[in-house]
Amino acid sequence: MSTVSARGLDAASLRELAERAGRELEEAPALDILAWAAETFGRRLCVASSMEDAVVAHLASRVLPGVDVLFLDTGYHFPETLGTRDAVAAVMDVNVITLTPRQTVAEQDAAYGPRLYARDPDLCCRLRKVEPLAAGLAGYDAWATGLRRDESPTRAGTPVVSWDETRQKVKISPIARWTQADVEAYVEEHGTLTNPLLMDGYGSIGCAPCTRRLLAGEDARAGRWSGRAKTECGLHG
């Protein structure tokens, strides 16, 4: 598709741009999708990464060296996740920006009581993930994520480019059409960093209190908020 600079576009124009790109780039390779995003948004494009792996950050760095990579430090992460973040910052051509909640875990415990994640996980996610990301995205027009359609039924309809109505941003999911095998092949080909917990029975990695290893036959996200109806933290609807 033709490239149009997004500089100075209002929300309605950005929405139209996102919807058109979603249609025209549906069958495009992930690198081409990110190349379009880099050409269109420049430094007003960022990547949001949970540090489950660095595949999208690596892809983005190939078309926009030094791209900003936003990481939400909730205060509840596995040490391996923080180690992956630090390794990505050290060895990849990206600028890792760590976002933190307004309150520390101790301050949140004092305000809401301990173990809020167990009593009201939606509120905990809002305070420690959704609100910090909204603040962190303020300086960008577009953000890229690692969402894939094969991860769970709730993600099966993920567009490669869409309009994030909540945040009024263009949302890019360049590997939406990839399978787990595609991810593994990319990691193998490029030596891309991955969270070591993926080799220890975890399929999707979030905060330690709300994440468990998978059982045989479960989909990749079954280990998140196990035993609850909750399937998403709120970052993706």
∠ CA 122-171-131, rounded to 5°: 30
- The three-state secondary structure class of 220 is coil
Nearest to 147 by CA among 50, 2, 226: 50
Nearest to 202 by CA among 194, 119, 236: 194
Choosing from 46, 207, 210, 233, the catalytic residue is 233
CA gap 205, 224 in Å, rounded = 8
Biggest CA-to-CA distance, the chain: 53
Does residue 125 have an active-site annotation?
no
By the 8 A CB rule, do 39 and 7 touch? no
By the 8 A CB rule, do 160 and 170 touch? no
Which amino acid makes up residue 222?
A: A
Dihedral class, residue 168 (left if φ above 0, else alpha if ψ from -120 to 50, else beta):
left
State how far Cα 167 lies from the chain centre: 14
Listed in sequence order, the residues at least 6 apart from 189 whose beta carbon sits closer than 8 Å to its beta carbon are none
At 152, give phi and psi (nearest 5°): -165, 160
Q: Annotated catalytic sites, by residue?
A: 233
